[in-house]
A and B are shown apart, each in its own frame.
Chain A
């Protein structure tokens, strides 16, 4: 019954979750979320919400992650606003049924594929881009006409709380709700029947989400991670390449991003030059004492800080640090750190780093890097810096990952005509742009026929004649039909 822990808010348990879903299901059944006007209004309000609360959002991200204001404004808010704008512009086209060609076999007929909302969907977000990864999927779910429950990550509590407040203020809470909480609340939500679950996070929890979804035959999109490698060839503009790697690694929440370059592969010959250039550019960006730079996120919490220092301090690895390694437990800061030639069986090479440590693996010939990458599980992204056409082609052909970028890192996320998602361990399904709309829609096939042109040969009793004619009609096209009709068929 009501105890001291429940002073401030009621416990969100399975019953509460069930009541929530029922309520949203009623809203959905009323048809409210299906209307074009409703969808447009929500999306416009989301834009307004971003515009009017930029400072508050940046502040929450600073509290949760010490995220630099530019990253917050450009990469979280900016990307989200773009997503809203694309949806606002395109949703009228997306909801138009797609005509499908029909053939002689069903003549006369016409066909189309209609996108319908799935119903009530659940979005479980992550802590590293707590704003973007909560609201970007939400844009898709709304554009597709669904009712939505959003569960932000408790590891980013300021953002979670702000999201809760803002969504109540700007969006239609009869159809869109935020549930804050941790494992207990998430489990209560996962026991319910949803029409889709969209999860961003890690492989371990993803398995739990998919198993829970299986009980209700709920389809899922799982946006996970992996070790995103960067292959660096010789003969490139090393300064630009290095900057782009730094931007994708330390410029992306200090390496705590699912598509951040995790490790580098380059040739033994090229490595020294690469390391020097990295050091120079790092100093140019973050100064001589990067622990004091305001342009770097901190490590999100002490759990992850400990995890990362363990990776760094492993015996077979700690001696391979060629740059950085400084850390400050109080302020949860770790400096940009580069390690050279760590062993394949080290901890740091066997889990997704998700932090400011960058191992460089050496090979004799650059082509060997592809096999090295393919010997691990498929990552969410893979990058290649090269000017050689053949190497690029080989890379695209033989390296499998969610997405690939040649000569840059992470920017493919900004291209909304590309599906963003993983494969194998890095996930299933995708979103962004129209892919978000599709992710939250059912593509219903519709065939229209008329009563005219009903062929008696379709029905029993089945005679040899009928069999011959049907075979001709279905298999052989018009010439065979004529032959069959004239009695010349193969049967």
Chain B
């Protein structure tokens, strides 16, 4: 389905987001393909029961953990990577043997519609279905009893989804967002760091990505150098007129455009723009914009930006950046650029986020051996690779015993010596029990 319809998928993404073909391929199509290929390759291993070691207390016995499908699951997708974030969870659900309903986002209608057609044509519609729609359709779906719900989107709606799930005791995975910070230390290869920040911001659906770099923290001393480097690299990437570059997505809708404008135009924020700021409401385009040292309590530093605006916050010492990050809700990702080994260690130990990357941005989501998910406000649960299979499975414990070796000490009437022996067996294992049998137990 993916291979035969690459052009159609890229076109739908272009219609919905003006997503450049390169991005469509790199970030959505190829990731979806890899996900499928991995599942195909590994499925037979994933499906095998996992042996579990047993101990003397249940001897003789053998144990295993069996992965079973949960049943009928609901995947609610989102608009910014509408193809990948629909297909990737569905791959996990199918790999784990479930029936699936997919609800793509109505904010990316071309992709939503394409998904309906493609799924209908390529997949088994007796078990895999797409339901298009907006709030009423989603609410109707959320009233049902599902065996699992995987939701990608905002924390606000995440709460609604979990509350609906609670009525049926449906377990959920919530892939949300947050303000993903990038700390830039002074002892770095500035050109590479800057390019990678650009890749993780404006090359990611023009900043409209849950793991995109939301804001940068650097030292007061280093900020001018960083800004200059960003200025130069941005021009290399998008030209002198970024508003006309074909290599950058537009803002998805008028709603979001207005929201971003409001962030930019706030008092004490609008005068902090050091680069960019251009916008075109008709075309829903906004240029890469950098702001320096906006007030901590400004809206742009409270909300997840989800757009092409990059505030740079300065601190005295790069170490101070950790407190700044930890004073905000835990984000989905956090980034650090440095060559200082101790700083890396301190960062990994002391900053909490869904995931972290040292010296790059966003790429950790392509490593399928790493769980992709948030913590606290940025979400719960995770997927990718085998984690997707596990996300949609019930891990059933199975213990096998035989009729041999039945100890009467287990049964009433309970006597003092039975008690002693049982206690020894459970707490101290066979040696303790033997001691107890010979009469040497602790009591």
- Size class of the A contact interface (CB-based, 8 Å): 35 or more
Most-contacted residue by chain A among B71, B192, B356, B403 (CB, 10 A): B403
Q: CB-defined interface of B368-405 with A at 8 Å, one 1/0 digit per residue?
A: 01111001110111100000000000111111111100
Contact of A111 among B163, B203, B367, B423 (CB under 8 A): B367
A423 in contact with B70 (CB, 8 Å): yes
B367 in contact with A419 (CB, 8 Å): no
B419 in contact with A69 (CB, 8 Å): yes
Pick from A71-79, A339-347, A353-361 the stretch touching chain B: A71-79
Q: Given A101-B369, A195-B376, A445-B370, check contact A404 B399 (CB 8 Å).
A: yes
B58 in contact with A444 (CB, 8 Å): no
A459 adjacent to chain B (CB < 8 Å): yes
A236 adjacent to chain B (CB < 8 Å): yes
CB distance from B269 to the nearest CB of A (A): 27
B430 adjacent to chain A (CB < 8 Å): no
B359 adjacent to chain A (CB < 8 Å): yes
Q: Name the CB-closest residue of A to B33.
A: A475
A146 and B313 CA atoms in complex are apart in Å by 31
A484 and B232 CA atoms in complex are apart in Å by 29
A411 in contact with B401 (CB, 8 Å): yes
B302 adjacent to chain A (CB < 8 Å): no
CB distance from B27 to the nearest CB of A (A): 10
CB distance from B46 to the nearest CB of A (A): 16
A217 in contact with B166 (CB, 8 Å): no
B245 adjacent to chain A (CB < 8 Å): yes
Residues of B within 8 A of A195 (CB): 376
Q: Given A195-B376, A407-B400, A459-B203, check contact A285 B33 (CB 8 Å).
A: no
Contact of A447 among B195, B203, B363 (CB under 8 A): B363
Pick from B48-56, B74-82, B101-109 the stretch touching chain A: B48-56
Q: Name the CB-closest residue of B to A212.
A: B166
Q: CB-defined interface of A94-108 with B at 8 Å, one 1/0 digit per residue?
A: 000000111101100
Contact of B155 among A71, A73, A217 (CB under 8 A): A217
Q: Given A210-B165, A400-B396, A406-B398, check contact A445 B372 (CB 8 Å).
A: yes
Residues of A within 8 A of B364 (CB): 111, 445-447
B16 adjacent to chain A (CB < 8 Å): no
A71 and B53 CA atoms in complex are apart in Å by 25
Pick from B136-144, B304-312, B408-416 the stretch touching chain A: B408-416
A321 and B372 CA atoms in complex are apart in Å by 55
Contact of A461 among B174, B247, B377 (CB under 8 A): B247
A403 and B158 CA atoms in complex are apart in Å by 30
CB distance from B14 to the nearest CB of A (A): 13
A7 and B353 CA atoms in complex are apart in Å by 45
Q: Name the CB-closest residue of B to A51.
A: B442
Contact of B169 among A416, A425, A460 (CB under 8 A): A425
A462 and B198 CA atoms in complex are apart in Å by 14
Residues of B within 8 A of A82 (CB): 426-427
A118 and B26 CA atoms in complex are apart in Å by 34
Residues of B within 8 A of A243 (CB): 406, 410-411
A293 adjacent to chain B (CB < 8 Å): yes
Pick from B60-68, B84-92, B120-128 the stretch touching chain A: B60-68
CB distance from A168 to the nearest CB of B (A): 25
B395 in contact with A430 (CB, 8 Å): yes
Contact of B367 among A103, A244, A402 (CB under 8 A): A103
A474 adjacent to chain B (CB < 8 Å): yes
Contact of B401 among A408, A419, A475 (CB under 8 A): A408
A240 and B237 CA atoms in complex are apart in Å by 76
CB distance from A182 to the nearest CB of B (A): 22
A448 in contact with B427 (CB, 8 Å): no
Contact of A462 among B21, B163, B239 (CB under 8 A): B21
B352 in contact with A447 (CB, 8 Å): no
B169 in contact with A471 (CB, 8 Å): no
Q: Name the CB-closest residue of B to A282.
A: B412
Contact of B147 among A215, A237, A424 (CB under 8 A): A424
A78 in contact with B401 (CB, 8 Å): no
Residues of B within 8 A of A118 (CB): 375
Contact of A402 among B370, B379, B397, B406 (CB under 8 A): B397
B199 adjacent to chain A (CB < 8 Å): yes
Residues of B within 8 A of A417 (CB): 52-54, 63
B238 in contact with A418 (CB, 8 Å): no
B348 in contact with A214 (CB, 8 Å): no
Q: CB-defined interface of B247-267 with A at 8 Å, one 1/0 digit per residue?
A: 110000000000000000000
Interface residues of B in 334-368 (CB under 8 A from A): 339, 344, 348, 352-360, 363-364, 366-367
B375 in contact with A207 (CB, 8 Å): no
B169 in contact with A206 (CB, 8 Å): yes
Q: Given A295-B412, A295-B413, check contact A407 B169 (CB 8 Å).
A: no
Q: Given A414-B58, A443-B382, A459-B198, check contact A450 B52 (CB 8 Å).
A: no
A458 and B66 CA atoms in complex are apart in Å by 42
B30 adjacent to chain A (CB < 8 Å): yes
Q: Name the CB-closest residue of B to A110.
A: B358
B422 adjacent to chain A (CB < 8 Å): yes
B271 adjacent to chain A (CB < 8 Å): no
A171 adjacent to chain B (CB < 8 Å): no
Residues of B within 8 A of A442 (CB): 352, 375
Contact of B26 among A114, A403, A424, A474 (CB under 8 A): A474
Q: Given A396-B398, A430-B395, A444-B353, check contact A467 B166 (CB 8 Å).
A: no
Q: CB-defined interface of A364-387 with B at 8 Å, one 1/0 digit per residue?
A: 000000000000000000000001
A79 in contact with B66 (CB, 8 Å): no
Q: CB-defined interface of A203-216 with B at 8 Å, one 1/0 digit per residue?
A: 10011001101110
A392 and B66 CA atoms in complex are apart in Å by 14
B397 in contact with A403 (CB, 8 Å): yes
A443 and B364 CA atoms in complex are apart in Å by 14
CB distance from A121 to the nearest CB of B (A): 12
Residues of A within 8 A of B34 (CB): 474-475
A467 in contact with B356 (CB, 8 Å): no
B193 adjacent to chain A (CB < 8 Å): yes
A203 in contact with B412 (CB, 8 Å): no
Residues of B within 8 A of A447 (CB): 355-358, 360, 363-364, 367, 370
A219 adjacent to chain B (CB < 8 Å): yes
CB distance from A156 to the nearest CB of B (A): 21
CB distance from B37 to the nearest CB of A (A): 9
A213 in contact with B54 (CB, 8 Å): no
A2 adjacent to chain B (CB < 8 Å): no
Contact of A444 among B57, B237, B352, B397 (CB under 8 A): B352
CB distance from A28 to the nearest CB of B (A): 11
Q: Name the CB-closest residue of B to A420.
A: B397
Q: Given A243-B406, A408-B401, check contact A449 B199 (CB 8 Å).
A: no
B231 adjacent to chain A (CB < 8 Å): no
CB distance from B176 to the nearest CB of A (A): 8
A415 adjacent to chain B (CB < 8 Å): yes
Interface residues of A in 434-491 (CB under 8 A from B): 442-451, 454, 458-462, 466-467, 470-471, 474-475
Q: Given A206-B169, A449-B358, A451-B188, check contact A79 B412 (CB 8 Å).
A: no
- Tell me the B residues contacting A by CB distance below 8 Å: 20-22, 25-26, 30, 33-34, 52-55, 57-58, 61, 63, 65-66, 68, 70-71, 147, 155, 158-159, 162-163, 165-167, 169, 171, 174, 176, 188-189, 192-193, 195-196, 198-199, 203, 236-239, 245-248, 339, 344, 348, 352-360, 363-364, 366-367, 369-372, 375-377, 379-382, 394-403, 406, 410-414, 418-419, 422-423, 426-427
With A103-B367, A215-B163 known, 14 other A-B pairs at CB within 8 A are: A78-B423, A214-B162, A217-B162, A247-B411, A285-B412, A293-B412, A293-B413, A392-B400, A403-B399, A415-B55, A415-B399, A445-B371, A449-B358, A460-B22
A-B contact pairs, 22 of them (CB 8 A): A73-B422, A81-B427, A217-B379, A219-B381, A224-B169, A243-B406, A243-B411, A403-B397, A415-B52, A424-B169, A444-B352, A445-B354, A448-B359, A460-B237, A460-B238, A460-B248, A462-B246, A466-B22, A467-B25, A470-B26, A471-B30, A474-B26
A-B residue pairs, 3 tightest by C-beta: A214-B162, A210-B166, A403-B397
